[in-house]
Amino acid sequence: MSLSINPTLKDLPTYQPGRPIEEVARELGLPAAEIIKLASNENPLGPSPAALAAMQHVLANINLYPDGNAFYLKHKLANKLDVQPANLILGNGSNEIIEFVGHALMQPGVDVVVSQYCFAIYPLTAKLFGANLITVPAKNYGHDLAAMLKAITPQTRVVFVANPNNPTGTAVSKQDLMEFANQIPARVLLVIDEAYIEFLDDPADFISEIRRGQKPNLLLMRTFSKIFGLAGLRLGYGIGNPELIAALEKVRQPFNINSIAQAGALAALDDAEHMRRTRDNNARGLLLYAETFQKLGLEFIPSAGNFVLVRVGDGQRVFDAMQKLGVIVRPMGGYQLPEWIRISVGTPEENERCLATLRQVLNT
């Protein structure tokens, strides 16, 4: 090809998401209705019924462009969080918020600090913008915050911490995380990914500090994909200092949040019962997984999210074998964890089927 492609893309890996049910059904010749997917940390209870009704209501006007500033959603979210709309930016999933950070702060000569076993999009974004990636070895499969502080250089501009962490499910203590945030140099943006924060019983409260204007170099990321059950809408949001948010807004594409997503999220914010049911189902699922793995003698990482990482020997083989039996999980070879698979919490019936399939595969 004679086109001059950006050389940065030459060695940039392609992100591999969890496999869709339809794709597996086509490939293996299985009925889609008989396949369960426990690979992408989705909400097994589905979206809020109120969100479904709200999304159906806007379909009649889908010929019109959405509100480019998502006025009502942003103001409702601001009211829920007790911040100002100027503290919020909306993205097409949290992934787009990460890309905003890349546009605003990453370039050749800049260092970006992440933890080993971090969410794959952090390194991909750093490499995409030509930044130098500093990966700090994990501590018990989680963040070594003290080592991450030591890894900060004069060239460091961004540090990523996910709490709870994906894919390992680990969480750092509330006190340790707040102390870590207080030691980050003012010239460095600390991005705390809180995609799974709603599953924590007592999370660190950084919003109060943002509300008081005490953390201008802090960006929190949250999402409607997990506990709200709206992963298909692709809607995330960032919470930060108004000056930081204004800078990120300059790189946001117009109409990045479609009308259906805005309507669904607006309704989902009010459905506290759906969130409660999701948390209860998740707690029961994690307990079942833990008890079963202990009986099977399998090493696993206690999880603070809605998924669990379990060591099964040859992760890719187990993934392939389970998939052929209609159960999709996530192999972890791409995260340098080839002996592990990650399993999302499903409904009680899905969890039981997954564990039965895992037992069958491990015994063959």
Instruction: Tell me the sheet residues that pair with 160.
Output: 191
* pLDDT in the model for residue 14: 83
pLDDT < 50 positions in the chain: none
91 DSSP 8-state letter: E
* pLDDT in the model for residue 11: 82
* pLDDT in the model for residue 305: 97
* pLDDT in the model for residue 12: 83
Distance CA 51, CA 102 (A): 32
Which of 98, 104, 120, 125 has its CA nearest to residue 237?
98
Report yes or no: 39 and 342 within 8 Å, Cβ to Cβ: yes
Alpha-helix residue ranges (DSSP H) falling in the chain: 21-28, 49-58, 71-81, 94-105, 121-128, 145-151, 174-183, 207-211, 242-249, 259-268, 272-296, 315-324, 348-362
- Angle at alpha carbon of residue 318, lines to 26 and 307, rounded to 5°: 90
Which of 190, 144, 140, 196 has its CA nearest to residue 165?
196
* pLDDT in the model for residue 9: 84
Rounded to 10 degrees, what is the CA torsion of 91, 160, 342, 39? 10
* pLDDT in the model for residue 209: 92
Cα separations (Å) of 320 from 21, 54, 293, 358?
Answer: 14, 39, 20, 11
Greatest C-alpha distance within the chain: 58
Report yes or no: 128 and 102 within 8 Å, Cβ to Cβ: yes
- Residue-wise pLDDT tens digits, 253-270: 999 999 999 999 999 999
* pLDDT in the model for residue 15: 81
pTM: 0.95
